[in-house]
Amino acid sequence: MSTLRNSLNFFSNFLIFPMTEPAITPELVAKHNLTPEEYAHAVEILGRTPSYTELGIFSVMWSEHCSYKNTRPLLKTFPTKSPKILVGAGEENAGIIDIGDGIAIAFKIESHNHPSAVEPFQGATTGVGGIVRDIFTMGARPVCAVNSLRFGPITANGESDLSNSKAEIANNRRLFAGVVSGIAHYGNCFGIPTVAGEVYFDKTYQGNPLVNAFCLGVLRHEQITRGAAKGVGNPVFYVGPATGRDGLAGAAFASQDLTEESAEQQRGAVQVGDPFMEKLVCEACLELLATGCVAGMQDMGAAGLTCSTCEMAARAGTGIEIELDKVPQRAPNMSSYEIMLSESQERMLIVVHKGREEEVKRIFDKWDLPWSEIGIITDTGHMVVRHGSKLVVDIPARKIADESPVYHRDAQEPEYLKAVRAFRLDGTPDLTNGTDATDALKRLLAWPSIASKNWVYRQYDHQVRDGSVVLPGSDAAVIRIKTDSLPVMSAELAAKVGDPKVSEKLIAMTVDCNGVYVYLDPYEGGKATVAEACRNLACSGALPLGATDNLNMANPHKPELFWQMRESVRGLAEACRAFNAPVTGGNCSLYNQSPAGPIDPTPTVAVVGVIEKLEHVTTQWFKDEGDAIILLGEIVDQADPILGLGGSAYLQVIHSKKTGSPPRCDLETAKTLHTTLLGLIQSGLVKSAHDCSDGGLAVALAESCISQLIARETPRLIGATVDLSAVAADVSPLHSKSGIDQSRLTSAATSQGARLDALLFGETQSRVVISCKALDALKVVERARLMGVPAVQIGKVGGDKLTVKTASGEFSAPLTELHDPWWNSIARAMA
């Protein structure tokens, strides 16, 4: 990249102190990532050649980031309806779901991948800031944040590809540290708890990290705010810091392949965040909404002032006219192009009921916020922008906002899948004794993708506002929605509501995706992503309400990569329907690939659920000596030729293989498990519940022993003695439900106990380890089996070791020896 440092930035060539606007040439159009056909369509809409500023507007509004032109046909396949949905997918900045008693939650997930690859700290901070604004622009008070992060390897071994150089590992650590620091900085300063998340490390993300940020807010039904420019003659206000040259064309930057050249050229497309300013803007906007003087509001996120003006007008079927000389500017001589395309942070566009301007000014002055009345709502249906005496933009708002090109891309199954499906375990040596098993378990617990993420979450304030019930470190976070979680009410609403106090609500949330599974089988991986998220909620005592997704994918123009995306969306949609978790919105982040190649398709999904009572809140760690340990679900999927080891953490870490068909996800089986588990929890029979996912049963058991904290960093270790020697014969398989061709079974699959690695580390789906009182064990097993869920008592809680007996022998490890690599692995790598 150093050879590029002296090259002139494209934006520098044309944007900084421009003497005259450049001529619109095919070369300039191409630099704006518009195809000749798209440009011709823009000319057709205008009936003339666009101005330079209009060209920039078409470029950002018709980028993938803003228009979803390559993904819109796929997004239409998601389930989006539910009696509880108050604002659905695509309607506004975030979806809103009813949680009862007149209270609702707004939530959404979005990405800031490319900016974080270029400037990790600022990329991550502004990613958090952007998603927080999406929530309070709906009228909701943001109450918590979650994130999903992915980076290249930060250790020199234990990865599916061991060819990482020291320089690559150092760069991955730099990106990881910068992103986590950025998230912590913004969330902590703003005052919002970051309560959950996930972090994965894989060579596929080297050079193209994924930074997905989720936020959830709370409001009353009557406080829902729409981002529509309603009311002809209503004034338009700008509030927030002055517009600068940071963030120029960030939406367009996020809609192209990430290369060294593009990264160097687009450093100006990375915004700079100010969380203290955002806090002021949030509080001022919520106070302003309570006056009833707001007709519409939207944040200036992707595409900045461009997106907020044209989208608000398009939603209302009105027009909007603004004057750029009235827009606060922090740099001299800013061009129309720069002002319209800047993505400077913490800015809002607000349409105010005519005659109530003084209330707006009073509140913004109270909060010491810059503001300006910059325009008016018209009946023309056009987005009109003037700069001094010059008309610089005149575009039909609906045409630019809602009628972007839509593409149906070619799809072709990738060739690599032939080898993936053909993979068998014949050439992969099994574990032979307890020493091998113990060593494998310790290596898996130390693998950064499985190891404790305390190095990450201890940098976050996850208890601010005192609403956190289950902190980071369990299957899902749980927060308490209290009266003071809600925005302030207008006098009119307060008179209608009466007693402002609300009964407390318990909301659980998690974010999940196993990108390796999706790479190896996009359809099954997509299903498994949603199933795991819903299983995490069930383990916490929650019933799913809805989901929000972030499709992190590569270049849609390549048929093999588009096929991955199409098939993963098919799996996501099918699973969301099965679990009654409609998609309320989300984000598509395409072109995630570096010169080394595309990322694994990574459709991250956050699922939100509700817990009926505080006593139903369940965590993953064992509780008391003498409790019974029960496995819900099949010990091994005997219908799987590779016994749940395809794509497993075990194959990646122990055998450096990233291959094999991943464990199949039977949605009916999964749904039955979740319903049964929730019933057992609500009956008061379950003391802990932890799903089996990365690393299989052995890792789940170990985490149940070592993951509880009794102080900020003081673990409570409680052992377990487990006997798996007779489990396979005791758990009835569910082959008849699955329609599996028995002729596919291999000798390894039909010989019970033949493979110790599959028993301990296979990742067969729909399994949960629970604990209960010893006296309740028989009742729990019988109830589960009555519901059609395989269940067997496999051990008891107690001692200072994890001891596991199998038909191949016994292995035992002191908990201190398991906890140390699991707890300290990431910190040691980052030291």
Catalytic residue among 32, 41, 112, 382: 112
Q: Are 646 and 663 in contact (CB under 8 A)?
A: yes
Could you give the count of Cα atoms lying within 13 Å of 383 in the half-sphere of its Cβ? 30
Length of the chain counted residue by residue: 831
Q: Which residue has the tokens 């955002």?
A: 278
Q: Are 95 and 108 in contact (CB under 8 A)?
A: yes
What residues contact residue 751 under an 8 Å CB cut-off, 6+ apart? none
Amino acid, res. 402: D
How far, in Å, CA of 827 to CA of 453, rounded?
9
For residue 567, how far is the Cα from the chain centroid? 19
Query: What is the 3-state composition of the chain as percent helix, strand, coil, each rounded to the nearest 5?
Result: 40, 20, 40
How far, in Å, CA of 475 to CA of 508, rounded?
10
Q: Are 552 and 210 in contact (CB under 8 A)?
A: yes
- Partner residues linked to 604 by β-bridges: 550
6 vs 3, 91, 250, 597, CA distance in Å? 7, 44, 21, 26
Q: At what angle do helices 52-61 and 36-46 cross, to 10 degrees?
A: 120
Q: Which residue has the tokens 């008849």?
A: 736
Task: For 321-352, give one letter per residue: b (16+ CB within 10 A) or e.
Answer: bbbbeebbbebeebbbbbbbbbbbbbbbbbbb
* Cα dihedral 513/517/518/522 (nearest 10): -130
Pairing of strands 801-806, 720-723: parallel
For residue 187, how far is the Cα from the chain centroid? 16
88 vs 81, 93, 106, 107, 548, CA distance in Å? 7, 10, 10, 11, 11
- Two tokens, residue 681: 């929890």
User: Is 557 one of the annotated active-site residues of the chain?
Assistant: no
Q: Are 547 and 605 in contact (CB under 8 A)?
A: yes
What residues contact residue 820 under an 8 Å CB cut-off, 6+ apart? none
Give which of 667, 672, 650 is closest to 659, Cα–Cα. 650
What residues contact residue 440 under an 8 Å CB cut-off, 6+ apart? 431, 650, 653, 654, 757, 760, 761
- Partner residues linked to 321 by β-bridges: 376, 384
How far, in Å, CA of 387 to CA of 337, rounded?
10
How far, in Å, CA of 269 to CA of 264, rounded?
10
For residue 189, how far is the Cα from the chain centroid? 21
Catalytic residue among 65, 114, 185, 616: 65
How far, in Å, CA of 703 to CA of 709, rounded?
12
Beta strands in 616-719 (DSSP E): 628-632, 688-691, 708-709, 715-716
User: Is 112 one of the annotated active-site residues of the chain?
Assistant: yes
Sort 225 into a burial class: Cβ within 10 Å, 0-12 / 13-18 / 19+: buried
Q: Are 821 and 830 in contact (CB under 8 A)?
A: no
- Two tokens, residue 693: 């996912």
How far, in Å, CA of 95 to CA of 258, rounded?
30
Amino acid, res. 38: E
| Residues with catalytic roles | 65, 112
